[in-house]
Structure 1
Amino acid sequence: MKRSQIRENIFKLLFRLDFHNSEDMKEQLNFYLDDIGLVQDYPEIKDDISKMTLEEKELVINTVKNIIDNIPEIDNKINEVSDNWKTSRMTKVDLTIIRLAVYEIQMDENVPDKVAINEAVELAKMYGTDKSKAFVNGVLSRFVD
């Protein structure tokens, strides 16, 4: 599975955080992984998550847990650089994408900054509004300048 597909799965799981408290996220992780298993049982569903290896599942789970553990710090960093757009005002999709990218830029040495930003912009194109791409890029560019 491509790293961008793994990142998309991480995004989908993190997005659930805005609708569930952190205590429920373990259950949400299990639901998500069960869904991945169900996809394997229905070949008519064209979804690459069915090809996720155990190692890739562990990467998704560990990354999600690390981000959840660091959300207060990540949100503080976002609030420091985003003028007039604090995390409380951001759309849930944009905030989730930005949190993931900030984690990768600031806390994951395996992801180059430019890759984190580019992948975040791609997620914004797929899941955000027409303005999300520029907004996400604008916020994240302040982390690498």
Structure 2
Amino acid sequence: MKRREAREKALQALFQIELNEMSLDQAIKNIMEDEQDDYMEKLVEGVMANKAEIDAIIEPNLDNWRMDRLSKVDLSLLRLSVYEINYLDDVPNRVSLNESIEIAKIYSDEKSSKFINGVLANIAPEDK
């Protein structure tokens, strides 16, 4: 599985966890069915293990928004991206940013992709 697909599946799992208060293992199982992808699982597990820290990074960068007002898709995507940016050294920040914007265009709308771009641009240093 390519990383883009792993990110999309991780987003879907995080969305299920957020929306349905589903367990991490159950969400991964629902999304992956009989497949397995280490990167996807690493993303979901990493976001959930560091959720409080990730949220503390996101919240001050929301510019007149509150976490509880964000759509579950946008919140899940922001968490996923912040995890990649802050916890994974093998993913350049610009790659994570671009991937997030493109995924937002698929799973959310144009306004959301611009919003996510703005939030992540404040969080991610240019080079990593």
Alignment TM-score > 0.5, same fold: yes
Show CA shifts across 1:78-123 (max 9, x none).
0122221121111111111111111111111111000000000001
CA distance in 2, matches of 1:25, 1:86: 25
**Are residue 122 (structure 1) and residue 121 (structure 2) matched?**
no
CA distance in 2, matches of 1:62, 1:95: 18
CA distance in 2, matches of 1:29, 1:5: 14
**Are residue 61 (structure 1) and residue 41 (structure 2) matched?**
yes
The structure number with the bigger radius of gyration is 1
Equivalent in the alignment of 2:54: 74
Equivalent in the alignment of 2:20: 20
CA distance in 2, matches of 1:114, 1:67: 19
**Are residue 31 (structure 1) and residue 30 (structure 2) matched?**
yes
Structure 2 alignment gaps of length 5 or more: none
SS in 1 for 2:123: coil
Structure 1 alignment gaps of length 5 or more: 38-51
Does the 8 A contact of 1:78 with 1:86 survive in 2?
A: no
- For 2:9, the aligned partner's letter is N
Show CA shifts across 1:29-63 (max 9, x none).
222232xx3xxxxxxxxxxxxxx6x4xx1221222
Alignment RMSD: 1.6
Equivalent in the alignment of 1:49: none
CA distance in 2, matches of 1:20, 1:5: 22
**Are residue 91 (structure 1) and residue 71 (structure 2) matched?**
yes
Equivalent in the alignment of 1:41: none
CA distance in 2, matches of 1:2, 1:27: 22
Moved more, 60-69 or 113-122: 60-69
In the TM superposition, 1:94-109 aligns within 5 A as: 94-109=74-89
- For 2:24, the aligned partner's letter is M
TM-score by length of 2: 0.88
TM-score by length of 1: 0.79
